[in-house]
Structure 1
Amino acid sequence: MEQQQAVPFTRYQKFVIFILAITGFTVILDFMVMSPLGDMLMKSLNLKPAAFSVAVSAYAFSAGLSGLLAAGFADKFDRKKLLLFFYSGFIIGTIFCGFAESYPALLAARIITGLFGGVIGSISMAIITDIFALQQRGRVMGFTQMGFGASQVLGVPISIYIATLWRWEAPFWMVAAISLLIFIAIAVYLKPLTAHLAIQQDRSAFKHLWHTVAKSNYRVGFAATALMSIGGYMMMPFGSAFAVNNLGVSYDQLTILLMVAGISGLIVMPMIGKMSDKKDKFTIYAIASVWMMIMCVLYTNLGRTPLWQVVIFNVLMMMGIMSRMVPAGALVSAIPEMSDRGAFMSINASMQQIAGGVGAVISGSIVVQASKGSPLQHYNWVGYAIVLISVVSIFLLRRVDNLTKKKRSNDKVVIPEATAVHEAL
């Protein structure tokens, strides 16, 4: 594997990592909490699996649509202002989720939340790419994507607990309260990010969007992200329902299961991030994908299983899933030019969200449940589908890897615009 020298972080860069990580934590928690609340929602609102998958995919589809609409404007404004605008809308949408008293109201609230929350990840990625050199981004991705693990260690168990004490709406109120504090921190401490405005070439937002989509190299990155996301979203909507109704896990045990998986994520993500900065990113992705495929097939074919075995299987499976995210994100982030990053990241996030929504709908059409509390049927078919999709995604990310290496070899400066950013920090 290629050995590279790690570039240290400045104090301000460490703050940026922290603020983006906790921002991502709230957005991920808002989305992730739907899965563990799934069994509770399906029973309390008398929903079939297909209807619940629509509630999950509604967020994804609206997030994808907003990302496409915002892509043309993503490089026209200070990235800090964009982050604050969309984060404020995300907070409002989450509050509406807390007010929801019926399935239609919940569906509408999830759409509003997705319209704003779905763009935040792409803005964060553009900020990361502006501030951090490629040799740092593996570690940055490892830390910022710890929000995934942190949401399971802290957010999801607490959400289930307060939902059990009160109602399923309570977790959304918790997310809104935490997000408001983070919003204030971003407004006060994050510096403006406007370097990209000096090199803008497209006057029209539509032309800038078309200019970004028209590049064949960019489309390879979009396709790789979309395909990877379809597989990731297919298992998620029915994770808790499968654990409760098929594996025999109680709600109390479900909290333990998610906490252990989350802790493993907090340990694995930084390790994979450091490894991605020192070793070949594609090799790490390929190994993690193969591991994930094996564990997905084994896990989705389990029947009634002791808790300790479920925990082990779940942790091993999550290790594979999360270990793909870091190197893939770092590789795709290296494709766009600085003037296109905001648009590229917005479109890329849209492809991720839309593909995820498609994945949730597909799994909802595959998985069936005869009655409340009965085992889910055909969940193992979802595991087999993930294997096929993951094989193709490996070949696509190989193309991304080749494009990234070719781009770097053609650059006359080893560390591009990030050098100027470092000097300004």
Structure 2
Amino acid sequence: MADARSERTILLLVAAVQFVNLLDVMMVMPLGPDLARGLGIAVSDLGLVGGSYTAAAALSGVAAALFLDRFDRRAALAVAMVGLVLGTAAGGLATGLPTLLAARVIAGAFGGPAAAISLSIVADVTPPERRGKAMGFVMGAYSFAAVLGVPAGLELARRGGFQVPFFAVAGLGLLVAGLAIVLLPSLRGHLASTRDPLDGAQVPGSALRELRALVGRPLVALSYLTTATLMMASFLIIPNISAYVQGNLGYPRERLGLLYLAGGALTFVVMRTAGPMLDRFGAFRTSLAGVALLAAVLYAGFHAYVPGLPVIGVFAAFMTGTTICNISYSTLASKVPLPSERARFASIQSAVQHLASALAAILSARMLRELPDGRLGGMEGVAALAITFTLLSSPLFLWIERRVAVELASRARPLEPLARGR
């Protein structure tokens, strides 16, 4: 554990890493129409751009779960950040769809592990009684990326072309990587758990055996299924939302940053208020509010657009519903693994998130088509599928919550005789 001052410095650095990582992902989707115009890409193929990143992040997440814990966190983070910077900068040098996809694959291959390492560092340096607050601080980077980063990236693209945001994020990432290398202490305390207690040698194959045991448990498998369901519901829409509101709903490009500013600010408020709701009502009942809102806005805003419905209201409602569902599930999922399994569980969960996101983005790209007038055709079917996944998440929430309650009770039961004997 670090002292208080060092802990604050580390958390600030980790939050900065998360900000760059999230901004790299989030800015590409609203830049879709700009990329289409600048590189001659069909609007209906934009889902492939987001899907290539998430597919690469998913594959690297599975691989990283086997070896990341065997290296100094600082060194591992430095390598991941440098790779992310190179992949992001390559996006600004893209000349067409193939080169852009290659750049996003490189960024995803390093961005996924960078996120996993960042959260591992938080757990390494903060005691359990402060870890929730620390995680909340670091995850707040999502809101800042939406409120500050995405509008800034859109404005840079409007003034200087789609290449400028890629280079700007790469430059910021290089600065953050340098600060992390200089200011982060060496973090090697976790390495003791991978060594033989008798001779200190590395224990071969132990990570693979532990990983198989984890993913083989029914409750863990059910949890990963719920992760995939929620990601499919969101990422059928997210990669195409910028093109949809501009082409189908007539929202002006110059005001696109306002959507992300309003949506990000609202998400920040939701993240601050959802915690007390979860503590009071539980994950399942809290998630019902998100499911109902998300299903309603998917129907009224995307499946059968209601004339006169404000675009900014559709966008804000979509982000709010998605945020409530995701926060509810993250809270519930944190209770699934044993304390000794949390890092492995989170690594595979991240891989499942990226894989499901990639599948949804690619599926939506195949279902959509660009019409002669610039609108996206096929959004009705994509929205209907997203509604199906959204509604499917509710029984999964309930099932997991009940199974978790049973498991927590069974874990506590052996301690009861000892407590009575004291």
TM-score (norm 2): 0.85
Hey, what's the Cα distance between the residues in 2 that align with 1:197 and 1:407?
A: 29
More divergent stretch after superposition (261-270 vs 400-409): 400-409
Identity score, percent: 26
Q: CA deviation at 1:301?
A: 4.0
Q: CA deviation at 1:274?
A: 4.8
Q: CA deviation at 1:356?
A: 0.4
The match for 1:324 is 325
Correspondent of 1:104 among 93, 98, 108: 98
Hey, what's the Cα distance between the residues in 2 that align with 1:303 and 1:393?
A: 24
Q: CA deviation at 1:235?
A: 0.3
Q: CA deviation at 1:192?
A: 4.8
Q: Secondary structure at the match of 1:203?
A: coil
1:87 aligns with 2:84: no
Report 1:38-53 matches (<5 A): 38-53=32-47
Q: Secondary structure at the match of 2:69?
A: coil
Task: Report the AA paired with residue 104 of structure 2.
Answer: R
Deviations along 1:281-321, one digit per CA (max 9) or x if unpaired, are 33222321222111221111465966x82112221221111
1:122 aligns with 2:123: no
Deviations along 1:176-212, one digit per CA (max 9) or x if unpaired, are 1212222233334445554543344863244344343
1:354 aligns with 2:348: no
The match for 2:22 is 28
Deviations along 1:27-62, one digit per CA (max 9) or x if unpaired, are 121111121111112223232244322222111111
The match for 1:298 is 300
Q: CA deviation at 1:101?
A: 2.3
For structure 2, the residue ranges without an aligned partner over 5 or more in a row are 196-202, 414-422
The match for 1:144 is 138
- Quick check: 1:123–1:345 contact (8 Å CA) kept in 2? no
Hey, what's the Cα distance between the residues in 2 that align with 1:62 and 1:147?
A: 22
Q: CA deviation at 1:251?
A: 1.0
**Distance of aligned partners of 1:225 and 1:28 in 2 relative to their CA distance in 1, 3 Å threshold:** same
- Quick check: 2:69–2:191 contact (8 Å CA) kept in 1? yes
Hey, what's the Cα distance between the residues in 1 that align with 2:411 and 2:12?
A: 30
**Distance of aligned partners of 1:269 and 1:199 in 2 relative to their CA distance in 1, 3 Å threshold:** same
Hey, what's the Cα distance between the residues in 1 that align with 2:278 and 2:67?
A: 31
Hey, what's the Cα distance between the residues in 2 that align with 1:200 and 1:322?
A: 36
Task: Report the AA paired with residue 25 of structure 2.
Answer: F
- Quick check: 2:89–2:167 contact (8 Å CA) kept in 1? yes
Q: CA deviation at 1:91?
A: 1.4
The match for 1:416 is none
The match for 2:393 is 393
TM-score (norm 1): 0.85
Tell which structure's C-alpha radius of gyration is larger: 2
Hey, what's the Cα distance between the residues in 1 that align with 2:405 and 2:105?
A: 38
The match for 1:228 is 230
1:159 aligns with 2:153: yes
Deviations along 1:205-232, one digit per CA (max 9) or x if unpaired, are 4434434333333222222211211111
Hey, what's the Cα distance between the residues in 1 that align with 2:82 and 2:281?
A: 38
Q: Secondary structure at the match of 2:41?
A: coil
The match for 2:31 is 37
The match for 1:269 is 271
Q: CA deviation at 1:327?
A: 2.6
Report 1:307-322 matches (<5 A): 309-322=310-323
For structure 1, the residue ranges without an aligned partner over 5 or more in a row are 1-8, 414-425
Q: CA deviation at 1:389?
A: 0.8
- Quick check: 2:246–2:253 contact (8 Å CA) kept in 1? yes
Q: Secondary structure at the match of 1:101?
A: coil
More divergent stretch after superposition (150-159 vs 395-404): 395-404
Q: CA deviation at 1:172?
A: 1.0
1:381 aligns with 2:375: no
More divergent stretch after superposition (85-94 vs 56-65): 85-94
- Quick check: 1:84–1:187 contact (8 Å CA) kept in 2? yes
Q: CA deviation at 1:406?
A: 4.1
The match for 2:242 is 240
Q: CA deviation at 1:357?
A: 0.6
More divergent stretch after superposition (97-106 vs 10-19): 10-19
- Quick check: 2:32–2:43 contact (8 Å CA) kept in 1? no
Hey, what's the Cα distance between the residues in 2 that align with 1:127 and 1:403?
A: 30
Q: CA deviation at 1:170?
A: 1.0
Task: Report the AA paired with residue 244 of structure 1.
Answer: Q
Q: Secondary structure at the match of 1:72?
A: helix
Deviations along 1:63-116, one digit per CA (max 9) or x if unpaired, are 111111111113333444333322221112112212222222111111111101
Hey, what's the Cα distance between the residues in 1 that align with 2:10 and 2:402?
A: 29
More divergent stretch after superposition (59-68 vs 392-401): 392-401
- Quick check: 2:36–2:42 contact (8 Å CA) kept in 1? yes
- Quick check: 1:66–1:118 contact (8 Å CA) kept in 2? yes
The match for 2:417 is none
Hey, what's the Cα distance between the residues in 2 that align with 1:188 and 1:284?
A: 42
**Distance of aligned partners of 1:121 and 1:328 in 2 relative to their CA distance in 1, 3 Å threshold:** farther
Q: Secondary structure at the match of 2:214?
A: helix
The match for 2:212 is 210
